[in-house]
Amino acid sequence: MLNQINSIEEYNIAYKASIENPETFWDEIANTFVWRKKFSSVLEWNFTEPKIEWFKDGKLNITDTCIEQHANSTPEKIAIIWEPNDPNENFRTLTYLQLFTQVKKCANVLIKNGICKGDKVCIYMPMVPEAAVAMLACARIGAIHSVVFAGFSAQSLRDRINDSSCKLIITADAVYRGSKLIELKKIVDEALLQCPSIKTCLVLNHRNISTYMKSERDKFWNDEMQNVSDENEAEIMDAESPLFILYTSGSTGKPKGLLHTTAGYMVYTAYTFKNVFNYKPDEIYCCTADIGWITGHSYIIYGPLANGATTLMFEGIPTYPDHGRFWDIIDKHNVNIFYTAPTAIRSLEAFGTDILENKNLSSLRVLGTVGEPINEEAWNWYFENIGKKNCPIVDTWWQTETGGILISPIAHVTKIKPAFATLPLPGIQPVLVDENGNEIIENNVEGNLCIKFPWPGIARSIYGNHERFKSTYFSDYPNMYFTGDGSKRDEDGYYRITGRVDDIIKVSGHRIGTGEVEDAINMHDCVVESAVVGFPHEIKGQGIYAFIICNKETADAEKIKNEIKIHVSNLIGSFAKPEKIQIVTGLPKTRSGKIMRRILRKIADGEKEKFGDISTLLDPNIVEKIISEKK
């Protein structure tokens, strides 16, 4: 389908062409997809409003490219392999033809339940093939899906449903993650107490546990799927029609719903999937992300399926039933391409290599990482023990906002270097800027990472708040998209992402805004004020460190700390729980009342002396005090 880059010379040619003449470059690539009507212009854009339109006037339905063409040409090819949480249960497969039939039926179920083009549908599902079917069924009828990670609390789910006024929610009775049963429908019921826009709740009976079903509102997935036809005409969509909303944390305020549109996202995820992973037809590809995050959207569902690939969905966790589970899956399904997060690698590395002795990993050809910086030690461990020094690691840098991978080695093409995301993909023009906003031209430098030209997969807006989209990404540096990340660039022009330069922290690759955690902590009765920062964590990359001021002398500090942890889990989700909590008598504030987080970050990191200039603090003595109060 798409041209594939097979050597560094071809990369150089493609990169040059994509910069000198981006429209011709993307026109050629876009032409290899299924269109109902060809586009009239490739790109119209400005980064001031900002307004970005790719493939204007083009008409399509993304399921034509992702499913129907393969259901016609290779109906028996496996689209999805599903590996259950419990390895003793049977795995399942869906061929392209079966997937197509399921998606058409589910599309009819949605229509029957009053969902029309442009309506929003929330998906709060475990990692099961029905989640993929639900997303693709939305796309088929032009409904906009909003997948919410099924580890979020009822409160977080409710906020997301209400922000985009979803009309229908799809969930499951329950799911096992490892040995823990999570009753998803109960969480949904709690959320729906205050979600007036939801008219229908579809419930997949996944674990067969008895479930409360509210009459009129709640319907079983299986009953509904049985009673509809498998004939369905796809809705014809504009290239720029919204495809999905995906909520992610910002440095301030509530999570924002990034809005991605149809054609550009399809072209970009398909192109990057094929190239970054050097995907070959008939290979088995496995990405361990959850569909609740952008990696799941772009590189479990849309990118692989657009290429007619076989994508493996894993329901469980890396340590169940033991810490060899990932390696068992590779062995069992002969996985060729394996894509996971640095946190998972570090946590498995900690168990040692004995468990690898009887695992056959020889099917592997490409390894990937995503979501957070990878340290050299973990990179080397992955390279040597999993890839047996034969598989390149593609350290892929990107974001919810970017839709697809922007900076990454191309497997078997780019010379890899531990912990470096290396070079920009064709079409991507990264720049490093200094503190004055000037572009740094030389190599061997460090700066804030911006992108100065649009690519097809970039988000188009924040749902319901275009002003926030503009101020968050396009206002710090004129005419550039600001990523919020810092990066180094070495003598070869290779990028090494150093991490966020704002108040977002990455805990086990999960993106968490410090403000969100503070808001949750502050709702606890005993708390007057709090400040949250990230601190380096050996396994998780970063952990959450909360400094809190309590409203009364508290005899039982441990009790309060525990309560706060439970409280944050209930309000956001257990992944946002502070690892360390320190009760303090004051916070380092400037005279204008701003908390100097830079100082708190250093304290959390164990620093005792070098705090730089603290003369602007209202009370410079507070720094000493907080250090002495630290246990």
Question: Which residues of this protein are in contact with ligand PRX, per CB under 6 A?
Answer: 248, 294-295, 370-373, 395-400, 421, 483-485, 497, 499-500, 506, 511
Q: What is the DSSP letter of 388?
A: T
Query: CA dist 315 to 70, 84, 188, 223, Å?
Result: 25, 5, 20, 23
Question: Which residues does 514 contact at the CB level (< 8 Å), separation at least 6?
Answer: 251, 503, 504, 505, 531, 532, 533, 534, 597
Of the two residues 349 and 372, which places its CB atom closer to ligand PRX in the complex?
Answer: 372
Is 3 exposed, middle or buried (CB count within 10 Å of its CB: 0-12, 13-18, 19+)? Answer: middle
CB of 510 to ligand PRX, least distance (A): 7
CB of 146 to ligand PRX, least distance (A): 15
Of the two residues 484 and 534, which places its CB atom closer to ligand PRX in the complex?
Answer: 484
CB of 372 to ligand PRX, least distance (A): 5
Of the two residues 203 and 337, which places its CB atom closer to ligand PRX in the complex?
Answer: 337
CB of 289 to ligand PRX, least distance (A): 8
CB 528 within 8 A of CB 551: yes
The CA distance from 445 to 240, in Å, is 37
3-state secondary structure of 497: strand
CB of 278 to ligand PRX, least distance (A): 17
The CA distance from 518 to 514, in Å, is 6
3-state secondary structure of 340: strand
Of the two residues 107 and 150, which places its CB atom closer to ligand PRX in the complex?
Answer: 150
List the structure tokens of 587.
Answer: 């916070």
Which residue lies nearest ligand PRX, judged by its C-beta? Answer: 400
CB of 259 to ligand PRX, least distance (A): 14
CB of 341 to ligand PRX, least distance (A): 9
Cβ count within 10 A of residue 392:
21
Of the two residues 102 and 508, which places its CB atom closer to ligand PRX in the complex?
Answer: 508
DSSP-based helix, strand, coil % in the chain, nearest 5: 30, 25, 40
Q: Which amino acid is at 1?
A: M
Of the two residues 333 and 511, which places its CB atom closer to ligand PRX in the complex?
Answer: 511
Geometric angle at alpha carbon 66, from 60 and 69, rounded to 5°: 85
CB of 7 to ligand PRX, least distance (A): 23
Of the two residues 407 and 595, which places its CB atom closer to ligand PRX in the complex?
Answer: 407
Nearest in space to 370 (alpha carbons), one of 398, 346, 406, 351: 398
The CA distance from 228 to 226, in Å, is 6
Of the two residues 63 and 422, which places its CB atom closer to ligand PRX in the complex?
Answer: 422
CB of 447 to ligand PRX, least distance (A): 15
The CA distance from 401 to 181, in Å, is 32
Of the two residues 124 and 397, which places its CB atom closer to ligand PRX in the complex?
Answer: 397
